[in-house]
Amino acid sequence: MAYVLRRLLEMIPVLLIVVAATFFLAHAVPGGPFDKDRPLPAEVKARLEQYYGLDQPLPAQLGRYVVHLAQGDLGPSIKYPGWSVREVIGSRIGVSAALGLVSLLIAVLIGVPVGVLAASRPNSWLDRVPMGFTLVGICVPSFVLGPILALVFALGLGWLPPCGWGSPIHFVLPACTLGLITAAPLARLTRGSLMEVRSLDYVRTARAKGVAPLRVWFVHALRNALLPVVTYLGPAAAGLVSGSFVIESLFDVPGMGRLFVTAIINRDVMLILGTTIVYASALLFLNLAADLANAALNPKVARDR
Amino acid sequence: MNPPVAESLASESGWQRFRRDRAAAWSGWFLVAVAAACFLSPWIAPYPYMAQDLASSAMAPSSAHWLGTDLLGRDVLSRLLQGGMISLFVGLIATAVALVVGICYGVFAAEVGGRAEDALMRFVDIVSTLPLTLIVILSTVVFGQNMPMIFLAVGGVSWLTMARIIRNQTRELKGSQFVQAAESLGQTRWGIFRRHYLPNLAGTIAVCATLTVPGVMLLEAFVSFLGLGVKAPMTSWGLMIKEGADIMEECPWLLVSPSVVFALTLLSLNFLGDGLRDAFDPRSSRK
């Protein structure tokens, strides 16, 4: 418990650094949000900048922002007038979270069994063929796999809609693209770690004292072998975030990834800040969750800290 | 991929072991061929990469245009070579940036030791949990989409793993007897870095660098795909894939050729890196 608390407290300075860094980066973006094709009258622009607090010195703006942030207020959106950043993100986050979770689920449900299967018969075709595929999976980026899947299943076979959002069937292509890409490193990691664990003394002991082979495999070996795999889920989630920028634009999914990219293109400083903070805190929490899961699997990790 | 352990005798040199790894050797040759074609593209490309010919726009592959033409009638093969030059260039330079930063940071952390070292490595841990694509996208927007900035931004976020590995290795070296001997003989820290650390780290650095290049190229492609990287009329593989994906229904060849070349290049780099590691790192004996 004390450990969780310490980790949570540790997040605060990290988030503050992220906020400050993003703040200065976002404000250094050339071109203000009110620079349009038709220039606004000077006094209108001045009023607008005053309303959003853009006329004050940067450190003062940052201070004000952090105070508001501590109260859960992400400020007003500049490009969506009348909406707060919180509302804009709130309307999108569900879509991205659902997509991310389903992709992660697909990745684990494919990656881990494939890795186990490959490690159970090393150097046979059961090992070589799937591992060859995972190598391809590592090298084919999501923005190549996505269009190829769409080309085959949507345009070629006509089984799935090529893009759009609304019904569960729209989930299939984007979630599979992200899931398959993430499954590849998971499978390789599972295989490698199982290969290492199964040559350890305690596994031999278990086998020697007559534990059923399947029980040795799944209860004794797999439990330890999953440690690096669970740890990898944090970075894997970060990968899903980067993937979602591309996949959401590609499949026309109204999620956060697309929101972030549009915010950047629109120079919507408040929205850029808001999305970055949400992403960063989500990933920090996921990493904490992965570490806690690790401690639950392995008492030694729990004791060491 | 998995040479029997008994075969890799200790007396063999790393190169001999490497040469027997056929996947790595073929990957090496493939990369040399691709790199040569791309970097010689100003002289060997069949057409200038930006030459438009609206009369022959969006043509499927033919004997005149081996890989077809795009919507503006530009030859896809020529653009593929020019784009490859940019992608490989980003890969190499950004990796060099990452290498220098990673080595300096890692060695420095191991040298100072104690609490400062813990703090430095904790910093690396924390930064690597953040989505790095985000940082790269932000900085390309801030500092403009010019090539040197893309190198710096991509390299600037890719040094973390490198720093971690280098620091672990340096710590081991620092405790070893020959380094202690050098210290007691009055060798300066710089001298130890140059004469003992660097030569002993060389193998690790080579493997790390080879495995960093694909990640870096992927990152550049990501950014270009979102339209925030390389700008027209120049192109890169990421940008070509994006343009191909936009009109894949009508002109699938615009998507297929850059995707295939890009994926094959990344695959070869991974094979090469794995091969180098197996050959030169005694600890990574494959089970």
SS (H, E, C) chain A: CHHHHHHHHHHHHHHHHHHHHHHHHHHHCCCCCCCCCCCCCHHHHHHHHHHCCCCCCHHHHHHHHHHHHHCCCCCECCCCCCCEHHHHHHHHHHHHHHHHHHHHHHHHHHHHHHHHHHHHCCCCHHHHHHHHHHHHHHHCCHHHHHHHHHHHHHHHCCCCCCCCCCCCHHHHHHHHHHHHHHHHHHHHHHHHHHHHHCCCHHHHHHHHCCCCHHHHHHHHHHHHHHHHHHHHHHHHHHHHHHHHHHHHHHCCCCCHHHHHHHHHHHCCHHHHHHHHHHHHHHHHHHHHHHHHHHHHHCHHHHHHC
What is the model's pLDDT at position A109?
93
CB-CB neighbors (< 8 A) of A272 in chain B: 138
Return d(Cα A195, Cα A285) in angstroms, integer.
30
pLDDT given at position A195:
83
Per-residue pLDDT of B188-198, as tens digits, reads 888 888 888 88
Q: Which of residues 268-287 of A touch B (CB under 8 A)?
A: 272, 276, 279-280, 283-284, 287
- Mean of pLDDT values over B80-89: 87
| The two structure tokens encoding residue B135 | 């940082």
Write out pLDDT tens, residues B119-136.
888 888 777 767 677 778
The neighbouring-strand residues paired with A283 are: none
**B246 to chain A, closest Cα gap in Å:** 8
Answer yes or no: do B2 and A123 touch at CB < 8 A. yes
**What digits encode the pLDDT tens for the residues B129-158?**
676 777 788 777 777 777 777 778 888 888
| Chain A residues close to B238, C-beta within 8 Å | 143
Residues of A in contact with B214 (CB under 8 A): 139
More confident residue, A266 or B269: B269
- The answer to whether the CB atoms of B241 and A276 lie below 8 A apart is no
Which residue would you say has higher pLDDT here, A106 or A162? A106
In the structure, what pLDDT confidence band is assigned to residue B1 with cuts at 50, 70 and 90?
very low
CA of A44 vs chain B CAs: smallest distance (Å): 26
Q: Please report residues of A whose CB lies closer than 8 A to that of B241.
A: 143-144, 147
Three-class secondary structure of residue B75 per DSSP: strand
Bridge partners (DSSP) listed for residue A84: A76
Facing B130 at nearest CB: one of A18, A136, A261? A18
Cβ contacts below 8 Å, chain A against chain B, sum to 113
Residue of A nearest to B287 (CA): A195
| pLDDT value for B104 | 92
> Does A260 sit within 8 Å of B126, measured CB to CB?
no
Q: Which residue of chain B has the CA closest to A24? A: B142
Question: Nearest C-alpha of chain B: how many angstroms from A191?
Answer: 11
Q: How confident is the model at residue A143 (pLDDT cuts 50, 70, 90)?
A: confident
Residue A69: per-residue pLDDT: 79
**A40-99 residues touching B, CB cutoff 8 A:** none
d(C-alpha B76, C-alpha B59), whole Å:
10
Helical ranges in B128-285 per DSSP H: 132-142, 147-157, 160-175, 177-184, 189-192, 198-225, 237-246, 252-280
**Taking 60 as the threshold, does the pLDDT of residue B203 lie above it?**
yes
CA atoms within 13 A on the CB side of B136: 30
Whole-number pLDDT of residue B12: 60
Give the distance from residue A245's alpha carbon to the nearest chain B alpha carbon, in angstroms.
8
Whole-number pLDDT of residue A32: 62
The number of C-alpha atoms within 13 Å of B26 and in the hemisphere containing its C-beta is 6
Q: Do A148 and B259 touch (CB under 8 A)?
A: yes
- For residues A246-252, average pLDDT: 83
Give the pLDDT confidence of A189-205 residue by residue, as tens digits.
888 888 888 888 888 88
What is residue A6's predicted lDDT score, i.e. its pLDDT? 82
CB atoms A196 and B287 under 8 Å: yes
Q: pLDDT, tens digit, for every residue of A63-93? A: 878 887 777 777 777 777 777 888 888 888 8
List, for residues A150-181, the tens digit of each pLDDT value. 878 877 777 777 776 777 777 888 888 889 98
**Nearest chain B Cα distance for residue A117, angstroms:** 16
